[in-house]
Chain A
Amino acid sequence: MNQVMNRDDFRTALEQAIQGRSANKSPFSIAWASGKLTRAHLARWAENHYHYVGPFADYLAYIYGRTPDTMTEAKDFLLANMYEEEIGGDRHTDLLIRFGEACGTTRARIEDPDNMSPTTRGLQSWCYAVAMREDPVVAVAGLVVGLESQVPSIYRKQTPTLREKYKFTDEEVEFFDLHIVSDEIHGERGYQIVLEHATTAELQQKCLRICEVGAQMRLLYTTALYRDYVEQDLSLAELGLEREAVAA
């Protein structure tokens, strides 16, 4: 029987659950960070990523609607995340589209759901399913802690590369700049909600498990991006990776 963890131990356990299968380790992310992708590869990424992150406020809205009104601060945090994602400043997806256009694709192609891979469609569907079906605290753990909070560490690594190796301008990569700040806020709010409201051993274990699954889903997504769009041009060997080391 698992014991209830205190906040510090629970936070450490959540961070470990995420890091175990971090998307930073996928061949697509490694190729990106090492400057080996082409703008065409990055265009395909934008066409997929839009359909994963574009509905993020929608995912949160489902959770918001199912969160009891007694959890006022948690609801306020979710609402703030939704607002900032859409209308707090520039709409985040507009900045993603600006990046995609700099890579050679178009707004129409990015917004067209037929241009996402089946795996991206699966990730989007998983996000909707978690938002609609899981306990709201578990859903926050999966989507905000498990997925969104990973973004700053990924983009912090990738943004300098976009400027230095891929030669994008500051304006073209603003999507990545803003996420270092705003997703850090959003991820921290997610942690606060989960640490405050996952107060039983059972709920804590569910939160840890969904973080692991969320990290697996993101790794699956980025691994599929490599296989669908990059592998034909860039082998695992060229990335210094062995096939066995790459998650299925």
Chain B
Amino acid sequence: MPKVRFEKLGEVHEGEVKDDTNLVVRAGIKQFPWPHLRYGCGMGKCSKCASRVIEGAEHLPPPNWKERKILGANLERGYRLVCQLWIHHDVALCQDSDEVWAATIKPPEESAA
């Protein structure tokens, strides 16, 4: 079972998940990494779930079209959309505070809404 380490606001949260797990699906049913993982639409649009991959990036599939569209240059900084990832191997993720996310990743159309 893949081990997941999730860092946010200086705290570390760890858990094990079944193979082929989507962490946003887990959070959606109030299981780890709930309540720590911020997420929104679950459709690769709002970017709220964006997190930086600290370890295990080599085991993840290449970014899909939604991640390329929403994250752009943030992909090169190691960010991925967690709602678009199905976990098969150990991974460590770090999610920014709401303020940092709003300043760096949040799509412009969201800001205008």
Measured CB to CB, the residues of A under 8 A from B are 73, 77, 80, 84, 88-90, 170, 174, 177-178, 181-182, 184-185, 188-189, 192
Specify the chain B residue showing the minimal Cβ separation from A188.
Answer: B29
Contact B40 A88 (CB under 8 A): yes
Which 4 pairs show the lowest CB-CB distances between chains A and B?
A89-B41, A185-B28, A178-B43, A170-B65
A185 to B45, CA, bound (A): 16
B75 at the interface (CB under 8 A from A): no
- A177-B44, A181-B84 given; A189·B65 CB < 8 A: no
Can you report 16 A-B residue pairs in the complex whose CB atoms are below 8 A from each other? Answer: A88-B41, A88-B43, A89-B40, A89-B41, A89-B43, A89-B46, A90-B41, A90-B43, A177-B43, A181-B22, A181-B24, A181-B83, A182-B42, A184-B22, A185-B28, A192-B29
B42 proximity list for chain A (CB < 8 A): 84, 88-89, 178, 181-182, 185
- Whether A185 touches B29, Cβ cut-off 8 Å, given contacts A89-B45, A177-B66, is yes
Q: Which residues does B use to contact A, with CB under 8 Å?
A: 22, 24-25, 28-30, 40-46, 65-66, 83-84
Measured in the bound complex, the distance between the Cα atoms of B30 and A189 in whole Å is 9
**CB of A15 to closest CB in B, whole Å:** 14
Complex: A171 Cα to B85 Cα, angstroms: 19
Chain B minimum-CB-distance residue to A181: B42
A98 to nearest B CB, angstroms? Answer: 13
Known contacts A84-B42, A90-B41, A181-B24; 11 further A-B pairs (Cβ under 8 A): A73-B30, A89-B40, A89-B41, A89-B42, A90-B45, A170-B65, A177-B66, A178-B42, A178-B44, A188-B25, A188-B28
- Which of chain A's residues have a CB closer than 8 A to the CB of B84? 181
* Interface SS of B by simple majority: loop
A89 to B83: give the CA distance in the assembly, Å.
13
| A178: B residues at CB distance < 8 A | 42-44
Most chain B Cβ neighbours within 10 Å, of A181, A188, A189:
A181
Residues A182 and B43 in contact, CB atoms below 8 Å apart: yes
Structural contact, A80 and B28, CB atoms closer than 8 A: yes
| Residue of B22, B42, B44, B66 with most partner-chain A CB within 10 A | B42
Question: Using Cβ atoms and an 8 Å threshold, which residues of chain A touch B65?
Answer: 170
Contacts of A182 in B (CB 8 A): 41-43
List the A side residues contacting B40 at CB < 8 Å.
88-89
How far is the CB of A178 from the nearest CB of chain B, in Å?
Answer: 4
Contact yes or no, B29 A189, CB < 8 A? yes
> Contact at B45–A181, with CB atoms within 8 Å?
no
Q: Are B43 and A185 in contact (CB under 8 A)?
A: no
By a CB distance below 8 angstroms, the chain B residues around A88 are 40-43
A184 in contact with B25 (CB, 8 Å) = yes
Query: Within the complex, what minimum Cβ distance (angstroms) separates B86 from chain A?
Result: 9
- Whether B44 contacts A189 by the Cβ 8 Å rule is no
Report Cα–Cα, A177/B81, bound state, in Å. Answer: 14
* Chain A neighbourhood of B29, CB < 8 A: 77, 185, 188-189, 192
Contact check: which of B25, B44, B46, B66 meets A185 at CB < 8 Å?
B25
- The minimal Cβ–Cβ distance linking B74 to chain A, given in whole angstroms, is 19
- Taking the closest CB of chain A, its distance from the CB of B112, in whole angstroms, is 16
Q: How far does the alpha carbon of A178 sit from the alpha carbon of B40 in the complex, in Å?
A: 13
